Structure 1
Amino acid sequence: MNSLQLERMKNDKGFIAALDQSGGSTPKALANYGIQKDSYKDEAEMFQLVHDMRKRIMQSPAFTKERILAAILFEKTMDMKVDGKYSADYLWETKGIVPILKVDKGLAELANGVQLMKPMPQLNELLKRAKERNIFGTKMRSVIKEVNEAGIKAVAAQQFEIAKIICEAGFVPIIEPEVDIHTKNKAGAEAILKQALLDELKNLDSQYKVMFKLTIPEEPNFYEALMDSPSTIRCVALSGGYSREMANEKLSKNHQLIASFSRALTEGLSVDQTDDAFNTMLDQSIQSIFDASVAG
């Protein structure tokens, strides 16, 4: 593990840019960027187009370490290059931004009110490649849709089971048990989730360090107990379908909780924009998210 990157993630101001749309969410991300499905004939072209979008973001003069701590990459992005360097090396060596890798393989079918992660039989192989590509940490996502204690506890247990494997491989995992913003009694789901995560933290080896990526809670500062754990490096928030304005407003009410936005980060960007217009829009987006992240 890179000690400079660890100290940056612990102590510096800023937020995490999520540039990790997977195969399932990439068509929507491209459509929001102004590239429709009839613009590419197969998956290879699709992934090249989304890499070009991510590359444009990473290369922008607005995308700087002063406001962005880290960036989460999709697996294919990790294996592609920016200015002749693999994406993670470009981020760290050129931009001073910590590289993180999405490792989950998507969501299982809904059961007990939640969607667990699909099996990851190639995880160890992926982690070996991530080490070769100089990745610092990982991210994996589950989703909670109902107030179901058994389901929510299963989400927490699965997340920590895989997090331990990732820690043992020398990475810092981001545990992401998203609570769907449309969940009825969202606050009730969050209460069960917080206790389940705290219980799992108690059983985590003290040498392991983790991060959490959480839906912005109904009650401001609700997850402070997670942040106070000596095993927690940072807690970050997903935008979860909120507009950037709404996500920023909710985030700013939470002390020490910083953003890790994807769609809210790229809101307003278009393939047809001139570089000046693109960079101006991205700069405004980054500044607003940074301000919300440090407001608490």
Structure 2
Amino acid sequence: MNAKQLERMHHGKGFIAALDQSGGSTPKALELYGVKNDAYNTDDEMFDLVHAMRTRIITSPSFSSEHILAAILFENTMDRKIEGSYTSDYLWDTKGVVPILKVDKGLSAEKDDVQLMKDIPGLDDLLDRAVARHVFGTKERSVIKHANRKGVKAIVDQQFAMGRQIASHGLVPILEPEVSIFSEDKADAEALLKEEILRHLDEMPADAKIMLKVSIPTVDGFYSDVMERPQVVRVVALSGGYTRDEADARLVKNPGLIASFSRALLQGLLAQQSDGEFNSTLAESVAEIYKASVDK
């Protein structure tokens, strides 16, 4: 792993921009960006449009290492270029932003009140490609719907098993066991989740490195003890369906927890905006999320 990138992720001030909308979520992301589904006919055309959106975001002067530590990329984005450089190289070499790759292939059907990750055929080959593209780490998401001990244990076991496989390639995994913000027993589910996370951390070598991406907890400061573990580079939070204002308001109550927002970051950005309007809207979003991440 890149030592400068590890130091930045561990101690830097800022947040993570989640730009990893995949095949299933791309149409919705484009629609929110003002691009209707009649603007494209094939998946290739759709991915061209979303790459243009991501390129506009990443090349914006409002998108910089002053506020943004890292960006999470979709596999298709990793294999594309921005201004002549592969996206991950452009991020680090030009912007000083650490590149991270989403590796999961979506969610399995719900069982025991959770959705595990689908199998990832060819994961080792994908990880080798990520290393060749100078990616720092990965992100992999699964979802907890309710406080079911059996389901939560299955989620965390799968996340840590995949994390070990990813780490064997020299990459730093971001384990993302999301707890649905719509769960009526969210706090209980988070208690089970933390119990399982701590159990796995107890079994890990002290020099192992992982990150965690979690829902903003119901109990303020809930993950502070997890952050203190030597294996944990950073704990970051997804917006999970909250508006940016609500996500920021909840985030600021959690010292040490930084944002890794997608929808909340892109809120208000439109393809039809002039560059001035676009950059101003993005700058406002970046400033608000940065403040909620570090000003506490």
TM-score (normalised: structure 2): 0.99
* Rounded Cα–Cα distance in structure 2 between residues aligned with 1:148 and 1:179: 12
Query: Which residue does the alignment assign to 2:27?
Result: 27
Q: Deviations over 1:87-136 (max 9, x none)?
A: 00000000000000000010000000000000012110000100110000
Query: Which residue does the alignment assign to 2:223?
Result: 223
Q: Deviations over 1:12-42 (max 9, x none)?
A: 1000000000100000000000011111001
Bigger CA drift: 203-212 or 232-241?
Answer: 203-212
Tell me how many residue pairs correspond in the alignment: 296
* Rounded Cα–Cα distance in structure 2 between residues aligned with 1:184 and 1:137: 33
Q: Is the 8 A contact 1:147 1:184 kept in 2?
A: no
Offset at residue 206 of structure 1 (A): 2.7
* Rounded Cα–Cα distance in structure 1 between residues aligned with 2:222 and 2:131: 34
Offset at residue 295 of structure 1 (A): 2.1
Q: Is the 8 A contact 1:73 1:102 kept in 2?
A: yes
Query: Which residue does the alignment assign to 1:158?
Result: 158
User: 1:226-241 alignment to 2 at 5 Å?
Assistant: 226-241=226-241
Q: Is the 8 A contact 1:253 1:295 kept in 2?
A: no
What letter is aligned with 1:288? E
SS in 1 for 2:5: helix
What letter is aligned with 2:69? L
CA RMSD of aligned residues (A): 0.6
Q: Is the 8 A contact 2:178 2:214 kept in 1?
A: yes
Q: Is the 8 A contact 1:18 1:71 kept in 2?
A: yes
Query: Which residue does the alignment assign to 1:206?
Result: 206
Offset at residue 207 of structure 1 (A): 2.8
Bigger CA drift: 235-244 or 197-206?
Answer: 197-206
* Rounded Cα–Cα distance in structure 2 between residues aligned with 1:91 and 1:175: 22
SS in 2 for 1:253: coil
Runs of 4+ residues deviating >3 angstroms = none
What letter is aligned with 1:124? D
Query: Which residue does the alignment assign to 2:279?
Result: 279
User: 1:110-129 alignment to 2 at 5 Å?
Assistant: 110-129=110-129
Offset at residue 208 of structure 1 (A): 1.5
* Rounded Cα–Cα distance in structure 2 between residues aligned with 1:293 and 1:27: 29
Q: Is the 8 A contact 2:207 2:230 kept in 1?
A: no
* Rounded Cα–Cα distance in structure 2 between residues aligned with 1:113 and 1:71: 30
SS in 1 for 2:66: coil
* Rounded Cα–Cα distance in structure 2 between residues aligned with 1:200 and 1:35: 43
* 2:66 counterpart of 1:66: yes
Query: Which residue does the alignment assign to 1:141?
Result: 141
Q: Deviations over 1:46-86 (max 9, x none)?
A: 01100000000000000000100000000000000000000
Q: Is the 8 A contact 1:214 1:235 kept in 2?
A: yes
SS in 2 for 1:141: strand
* Rounded Cα–Cα distance in structure 1 between residues aligned with 2:102 and 2:40: 24
* Rounded Cα–Cα distance in structure 1 between residues aligned with 2:121 and 2:224: 34
| Structure 1: stretches of 5+ with no match in the other structure | none
* Rounded Cα–Cα distance in structure 2 between residues aligned with 1:91 and 1:222: 32
Q: Is the 8 A contact 2:107 2:117 kept in 1?
A: yes
* Rounded Cα–Cα distance in structure 2 between residues aligned with 1:151 and 1:64: 39
Query: Which residue does the alignment assign to 1:104?
Result: 104
Query: Which residue does the alignment assign to 2:55?
Result: 55
What letter is aligned with 1:73? L
What letter is aligned with 2:181? I
Query: Which residue does the alignment assign to 1:262?
Result: 262
* Rounded Cα–Cα distance in structure 2 between residues aligned with 1:123 and 1:19: 20
SS in 2 for 1:54: helix
Query: Which residue does the alignment assign to 2:245?
Result: 245
* Rounded Cα–Cα distance in structure 2 between residues aligned with 1:146 and 1:215: 13
Q: Deviations over 1:217-269 (max 9, x none)?
A: 01110011110100000000000000000000000000000000000000000
Query: Which residue does the alignment assign to 2:2?
Result: 2
* Rounded Cα–Cα distance in structure 2 between residues aligned with 1:251 and 1:286: 14
